[in-house]
Structure 1
Amino acid sequence: MFEQAPIYARLVEEQGDVPAQVRQEAERIEDDLRRTMQPLRNLSEHAARQGRPPTHLMP
């Protein structure tokens, strides 16, 4: 869609493909967040299987 718009092609030439860069950065952040949150998710699921509240989430 955008590739056919001359103004978009000009902006990409001048500024780079900003939407693609943003998308790539968002994917990297999502991957980092997934890796960071996985241990917490595992603890919560383990506590739920044992019928205990996830105390590590309580204030």
Structure 2
Amino acid sequence: MTSHPPAADHLPVYDGLVRERGDVVAEVREVAEQALDEARRGLAGHPVSSPGPRRERAAG
């Protein structure tokens, strides 16, 4: 008998890591979107602001 992988919306190992370490994937996605936005503005000739202070994750 073969076991079936968990449904995509229920990944207990990933959920546990998110609770323990934070949602790194979401954070990376946010930073990537900001970088793309700044690149688009820069390529369009608009001034690009310098990066603000880096957010620190809360220790859990």
Which category describes the TM-score, using the shorter chain as reference length?
Answer: 0.5 to 0.7
Query: Which structure has the higher relative contact order (CA within 8 Å, separation 6+)?
Result: 2
Larger Rg: 1
In the alignment, the residues of structure 2 paired with residue 15 and residue 29 of structure 1 have an alpha-carbon distance, to the nearest angstrom, of: 23
More helix, by proportion: 1
1:33 corresponding residue in structure 2:
39
Residue 32 of structure 1 aligns to which amino acid in structure 2? E
CA shift, 1:17, in A, is 0.6
- How far apart, in 1, do the equivalents of 2:19 and 2:33 lie? 23
Identical columns (%): 42
Give the 5 Å matches for 1:1-59: 1=8, 3-39=9-45
Q: Show structure 1 runs of 4+ deviating over 6 A.
A: none
Structure 2's unaligned 5+ residue stretches are 1-7, 46-60
